[in-house]
């Protein structure tokens, strides 16, 4: 661990359980939590709120640079607010899910978010003794220096089933939100296969508690390996 701080990076596509598992892992470790995907959703909401066309890449990039975004880091209550407006529910709507890739695939936005996410990871780790950061390129781009780097995966069928139940929508709507978005986002982020040094955890046949245990085991194995060097 770096200077007594534990940094855990978790990547993976939608429906693998990475958000709920990451929050629970952060709770059990007593550290902070960062949902980097929510940051892209917040930029999408903010841009639309300001009347910006999401296909205007320059305007969206400027919105990402200037967004007055505050990310909650308590895994029990990870609030997201912009300009003092709580937007937790707004950024989880199907409308935002359908357009967020336009923001997430904007390379200028990704550059801005990478810097901001690294700053947040270090600030959270400094304040709480550690952080579990989850997203799509945390293990490779944002925090390749993390003490534990994990890629959570699951079969497409399982991921669609979990997300359709979570969103209470039909399978076709879920396919559009999951499979098509993953395909778009994978053009700019590596989250479908593990990079060197990243531990893969397939949750297809794991329940929530088993997934949490698998991640905690991977963290322990990674930190033990670091301590052994």
Is 1 within the bounds of a domain?
Answer: no
* Nearest in space to 12 (alpha carbons), one of 162, 172, 221: 162
At residue 10, the 3 state secondary structure works out as strand
Predicted TM-score (pTM) of the model is 0.86
- 86 marked as binding residue: no
CB 5 within 8 A of CB 126: yes
Is 114 within the bounds of a domain?
Answer: yes
- 167: domain CATH number is 3.40.50.300
How many domains are there within the chain?
A: 1
- 222 marked as binding residue: no
- 164 marked as binding residue: no
Classify residue 182 by burial, with Cβ atoms within 10 Å: 0-12, 13-18, 19+. Answer: buried
At residue 121, the 3 state secondary structure works out as helix
Separation CA 134–CA 186 (nearest Å): 16
Separation CA 207–CA 126 (nearest Å): 32
Is 147 within the bounds of a domain?
Answer: yes
Looking at residue 89, its pLDDT comes to: 94
- 75 marked as binding residue: no
- Concatenated DSSP letters of 49-118: HTT--TT-HHHHHHHHHH--EEE---TT---EEETTEE-TTGGGSHHHHHHHHHHHT-HHHHHHHHHHHH
- 4 marked as binding residue: no
Is 152 within the bounds of a domain?
Answer: yes
Looking at residue 157, its pLDDT comes to: 84
- 217 marked as binding residue: no
- 111 marked as binding residue: no
Looking at residue 196, its pLDDT comes to: 77
- 165 marked as binding residue: no
Looking at residue 215, its pLDDT comes to: 98
Per-residue pLDDT of the chain (229 residues; tens, 9 = 90+): 555 799 999 999 888 999 999 999 999 999 999 999 999 999 999 999 999 999 999 999 999 999 999 999 999 999 999 999 999 999 998 899 889 999 999 999 999 999 999 999 999 999 999 999 999 899 999 999 999 999 999 988 888 877 666 655 555 555 666 666 666 666 565 556 767 789 999 999 999 999 999 999 999 999 987 665 5
Looking at residue 161, its pLDDT comes to: 77
Looking at residue 3, its pLDDT comes to: 57
The domain in which residue 26 lies consists of 6-228
Angle value at C-alpha 178, between 163 and 14, nearest 5 degrees: 65
Is 46 within the bounds of a domain?
Answer: yes
Contacts by 45-53, CB closer than 8 A, 24 or more apart: 45/82, 45/87, 45/90, 45/91, 45/96, 46/82, 47/103, 48/99, 49/82
Looking at residue 221, its pLDDT comes to: 94
Looking at residue 158, its pLDDT comes to: 86
Looking at residue 203, its pLDDT comes to: 95
């Amino acid at each position: 661990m770096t200077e007594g701080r534990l940094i855990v990076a978790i990547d993976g596509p939608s429906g693998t359980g990475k958000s709920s598992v990451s929050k629970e892992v952060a709770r059990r470790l007593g550290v902070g939590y960062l949902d980097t995907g929510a940051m892209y959703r917040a930029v999408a909401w903010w841009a639309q709120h300001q009347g910006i066309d999401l296909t205007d890449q320059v305007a969206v990039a400027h919105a990402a640079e200037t967004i007055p975004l505050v990310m909650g880091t308590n895994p029990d209550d990870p609030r997201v607010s912009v300009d003092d407006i709580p937007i937790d529910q707004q950024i989880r709507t199907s409308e935002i899910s359908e357009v967020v890739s336009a923001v997430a695939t904007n390379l200028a936005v990704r550059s801005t978010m990478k810097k901001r996410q690294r700053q947040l990871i270090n600030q959270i780790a400094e304040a709480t003794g550690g952080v579990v950061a989850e997203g799509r390129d945390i293990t490779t781009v944002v925090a390749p220096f993390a003490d534990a780097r994990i890629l959570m995966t699951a079969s497409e069928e399982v991921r669609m089933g979990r997300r359709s139940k979570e969103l209470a929508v039909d399978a076709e709507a879920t396919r559009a939100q999951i499979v098509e978005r993953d395909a778009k986002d994978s053009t700019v982020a590596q989250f479908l296969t593990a990079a060197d040094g990243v531990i893969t955890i397939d949750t297809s046949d794991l329940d929530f508690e088993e997934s949490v245990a698998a991640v905690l085991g991977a963290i322990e194995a990674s930190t033990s390996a670091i301590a052994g060097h």
